[in-house]
Structure 1
Amino acid sequence: MNNFEFYNPTRIVFGEGKIVELNRLIPKEAKVLILFGGESARKTGTLDEVEKALGHRQIGLFGGIEANPRYETLIKAVEQIKQEGYDYLLAVGGGSVIDGTKFVAAAVNFEGDSWDILTSGGAKVTSALPFGTVLTLPATGSEMNKGSVITRESTQSKRAFMHDSVYPQFSILDPVKTFTLPPRQISNGVVDAFVHVMEQYLTYPANAPVQDVFAEGLLKTLIDIGPKALATPHDYDIRASLMWTATLALNGLIGVGVPQDWSTHMLGHELTALYGLDHAQTLAIVLPSMLIEKLPQKQAKLAQYAEQVWGVHDGSDKQKALQAIELTREFFERMQVKTRLSDYNLGQDVIEPLIESLTKNGMTALGEHHDITPEISRRVYVASL
């Protein structure tokens, strides 16, 4: 196991009806800007519930944060905060709204060009406004981590940043808020959480049995409850398990002391930035091809994954690894997320623009060994057709 430092200050308030706790969690004197996505937050009553829980505090609203939050939209929220004097932010929504809120929180007092927050990966951030979240869509784990991914539409760039100052102070997780989500968002959420675990787990053995068992348990849980979450949308226990699993998938715990990959995410980000695919769709497309491409380096861990997660015990390590990759693809398809570029009407002509964008954004040495070059990325995209 590698040396590590683990820090996570986010308070989780979990369960039905917990939005009322906002009155306890946010300072009484705070002037709060509520950030959200589309009108579903209002239509489902969540926004009204939030406003009621905030009591007599001064509040403002900023809506319209996209599924892939855009820099151009978020800058408008920064301007509103500066003009109206908010000192506390509250994200109401899924990972995109929370990611956007993290960027806004860091950008308000940032000196210089706020895009530098992203080009530096967060290294230039020094402080951020305090904020909390009310999670309505389990998927990204953003409600309990310090990471954010933002798209700049004008340059078709999708960039990430991390900083300790953008951990949410608290996150309210009420599984009932997921009951009205469309099936597509549940499917995407399961796939997103699954690949988050895979990026931290499926590298090479690092003598970290605790992290491995945690990761394998999360993967098996998603395989079990994913289809059930689609079939029984009002099953509280299933939705509660999904919500907590998605949070644990990327709150930092399973990634400490072990190598991490994240190449599937980087290749997927380019598909979203250039062609507008859902984040989870891009992960389902790229991951199987990436695992096959890197089979020689990942074979030992893939064989472990086959045995511990899928119960595959027959054959050589290579045979078990290949079977596990196919079972992973079948699981994504069972979750109604297609796994080929052609399923989204994308063909050979998209490959070179994707490689050019990867190179432009500096994604030229990816993976746990930093050896995934643009040429290897090209092979992965081609294999994903």
Structure 2
Amino acid sequence: MLNFEFKNPTKIIFGKGQIEKLSTELPAHAKVLLLYGGGSIKTNGVYEQVIAALQGFEVVEFGGVPANPEYAVLLKALQIIKDQSITFILAVGGGSVIDGAKFLSAAALYEGDEPWDILSKGIRFEKGLPFASVLTLPATGSEMNSGSVISRAETQEKLSFGGPGMFPVFSILDPQVIQSIPPRQLANGITDAFTHVLEQYMTYPIHARLQDRFAESIMQTLIEVAPLVMANPADYSAAADFMWSCTMALNGLIQKGVPTDWAVHAMGHELTALYGIDHARTLAVIAPSHYRYNFERKKEKLAQYGERVWHITEGTTEEKAEQAIVKTEEFFHSLHIQTKLSAYTDQFENTAEQIEQRFTQRNWLGIGEYKDLKPSDVKKIVEMSY
């Protein structure tokens, strides 16, 4: 196992009826920016619960954060923070809203002239304006990590940043909220979390036994509860396992002491930026091609994954590894998520060249667990995903 340090300061408040605890968790006399998305919280009962819990606090609302948190929209919220001397941000939503809150947390204290520099320069923040979240869509793990991904429509970019100061102070996770989530978004959440685990697991063996089994258990749980959640999101037991699996998939725990990849995300983000494809679906498009392109270096771990997660017992290492990729594709397909770019756009002919050029321009000359996948390799992987 590799050397590591681990600290996660986010307090998790999990379970039924926990939204009411907002009133005791927020700092006294806080002036709160209530940040949310397209308004679904006003139809599923979450908004009413949050407003009731915020009685006695000065609250300014900002809605309309899109599914891929948009820089231009967030700049409007940033102006409100500065004009009205906001002291605390409360994100009520899924990962996009929480990521938006992280950007605002950083930008509120940023002393530079251009907030986009936070993303383009990958500035690491040790401190931000305090914020918390009420999770409404399990998927990204943003409720318990310090990373954020922001989109900018005018330049068709999707970039990330983070730092120790970007952890939520607390996050409230009530599994009952998933009852109103559309099937498409549930499928996205399952796929997103599953791929988060793969990014931290599907590298090469280093005999980190406990870390491997942490990761495998999350994937096994997602596979088990996926059909239950899709068939009946009101099933509290399945919803609770789903929500906690999404959080555990990316709260920093399973990546400690092991090599991680993240090339799938790097490429997937470009597909979202170029075509507006749901984030989770871009991951499902790229992952199988990435694993096949890098088959020789990943086959040992792929075979282990096949044995332990998919119960593949017959065949050589190579055969088990290939079957594991096929099983992964079949799992995504069972969620009605396609794994080829051509299923999402018919304008893909030059996509690989565009992404290769972008990686070169950004000087991203080595990605993946070995940091040696060049833009030319990225081009070939994306081409395989057509």
Residue correspondence of structure 1 range 267-286 to structure 2 within 5 A: 267-286=267-286
Given that residues 38 and 64 in structure 2 are in contact (C-alpha distance below 8 angstroms), is that contact kept between their aligned partners in structure 1? yes
> Which residue matches 1:8?
8
> Which residue matches 2:377?
376
Q: Which residue identity is paired with 1:360? A: Q
> Which residue matches 1:114?
115
**1:148 pairs with 2:155:** no
> Which residue matches 2:308?
308
> Which residue matches 2:339?
339
Using the alignment, how far apart are the partners of 1:274 and 1:179 within structure 2?
32
> Which residue matches 1:157?
157
Tell me the secondary structure at the aligned position of residue 23 of structure 2. helix
Using the alignment, how far apart are the partners of 1:253 and 1:87 within structure 2?
30
Given that residues 204 and 298 in structure 2 are in contact (C-alpha distance below 8 angstroms), is that contact kept between their aligned partners in structure 1? yes
Using the alignment, how far apart are the partners of 1:15 and 1:34 within structure 2?
22
Using the alignment, how far apart are the partners of 1:178 and 1:361 within structure 2?
38
Tell me the secondary structure at the aligned position of residue 140 of structure 2. coil
Q: How big is the shift at 1:89?
A: 0.6
> Which residue matches 1:320?
320
Given that residues 126 and 164 in structure 2 are in contact (C-alpha distance below 8 angstroms), is that contact kept between their aligned partners in structure 1? no
Q: Which residue identity is paired with 1:280? A: A
Using the alignment, how far apart are the partners of 2:297 and 2:349 within structure 1?
27
What is the aligned-residue identity percentage? 48
Using the alignment, how far apart are the partners of 1:126 and 1:340 within structure 2?
39
Using the alignment, how far apart are the partners of 1:100 and 1:37 within structure 2?
10
> Which residue matches 2:242?
242
Residue correspondence of structure 1 range 136-285 to structure 2 within 5 A: 136-285=136-285
Q: How big is the shift at 1:228?
A: 1.5
> Which residue matches 2:98?
98
Given that residues 270 and 358 in structure 1 are in contact (C-alpha distance below 8 angstroms), is that contact kept between their aligned partners in structure 2? no
> Which residue matches 1:76?
76
Using the alignment, how far apart are the partners of 1:175 and 1:215 within structure 2?
21
> Which residue matches 2:362?
361
Q: How big is the shift at 1:73?
A: 0.9
Given that residues 352 and 378 in structure 2 are in contact (C-alpha distance below 8 angstroms), is that contact kept between their aligned partners in structure 1? no
Using the alignment, how far apart are the partners of 2:353 and 2:195 within structure 1?
25
Q: How big is the shift at 1:126?
A: 4.4
Given that residues 31 and 57 in structure 2 are in contact (C-alpha distance below 8 angstroms), is that contact kept between their aligned partners in structure 1? yes
Q: How big is the shift at 1:352?
A: 1.8
Q: Which residue identity is paired with 2:251? A: N
Q: How big is the shift at 1:106?
A: 0.6
Count of equivalent residues: 384
Given that residues 35 and 62 in structure 1 are in contact (C-alpha distance below 8 angstroms), is that contact kept between their aligned partners in structure 2? yes
Given that residues 274 and 354 in structure 1 are in contact (C-alpha distance below 8 angstroms), is that contact kept between their aligned partners in structure 2? no
Tell me the secondary structure at the aligned position of residue 154 of structure 1. helix
> Which residue matches 2:34?
34
Q: How big is the shift at 1:358?
A: 2.9
Q: How big is the shift at 1:157?
A: 1.2
Q: Which residue identity is paired with 2:169? A: Q
Using the alignment, how far apart are the partners of 1:179 and 1:156 within structure 2?
33
Using the alignment, how far apart are the partners of 1:232 and 1:36 within structure 2?
25
Tell me the secondary structure at the aligned position of residue 38 of structure 1. coil
CA RMSD of aligned residues (A): 1.0
Using the alignment, how far apart are the partners of 2:280 and 2:150 within structure 1?
15
Given that residues 157 and 361 in structure 1 are in contact (C-alpha distance below 8 angstroms), is that contact kept between their aligned partners in structure 2? no
Using the alignment, how far apart are the partners of 1:361 and 1:26 within structure 2?
40
User: How far does the alpha carbon of each residue in 1:43-83 deviate from its partner, in whole angstroms, 9 at most, with x for none?
Assistant: 22211210110111100101111101011111111100110
Is there any run of 5+ residues in structure 1 with no aligned partner, and where? none
Q: Which residue identity is paired with 1:318? A: E
> Which residue matches 2:55?
55
Using the alignment, how far apart are the partners of 1:67 and 1:374 within structure 2?
28
Larger CA deviation: 351-360 vs 87-96: 351-360
Using the alignment, how far apart are the partners of 1:362 and 1:92 within structure 2?
36
**1:88 pairs with 2:81:** no
Given that residues 98 and 133 in structure 1 are in contact (C-alpha distance below 8 angstroms), is that contact kept between their aligned partners in structure 2? yes
Tell me the secondary structure at the aligned position of residue 149 of structure 2. strand
Using the alignment, how far apart are the partners of 1:131 and 1:28 within structure 2?
14
Using the alignment, how far apart are the partners of 1:323 and 1:45 within structure 2?
44
Is there any run of 5+ residues in structure 2 with no aligned partner, and where? none
Q: How big is the shift at 1:344?
A: 1.0
Given that residues 275 and 345 in structure 2 are in contact (C-alpha distance below 8 angstroms), is that contact kept between their aligned partners in structure 1? no
Q: How big is the shift at 1:127?
A: 2.3
User: How far does the alpha carbon of each residue in 1:240-275 deviate from its partner, in whole angstroms, 9 at most, with x for none?
Assistant: 110000000000000001000000000000000011
Using the alignment, how far apart are the partners of 2:338 and 2:361 within structure 1?
28
Given that residues 38 and 63 in structure 1 are in contact (C-alpha distance below 8 angstroms), is that contact kept between their aligned partners in structure 2? yes
Q: How big is the shift at 1:108?
A: 0.6
Tell me the secondary structure at the aligned position of residue 362 of structure 1. coil
Using the alignment, how far apart are the partners of 2:154 and 2:91 within structure 1?
25
Q: TM-score scaled by structure 2?
A: 0.98
Q: How big is the shift at 1:373?
A: 1.0
Tell me the secondary structure at the aligned position of residue 338 of structure 1. coil
Q: TM-score scaled by structure 1?
A: 0.98
Using the alignment, how far apart are the partners of 1:108 and 1:126 within structure 2?
13
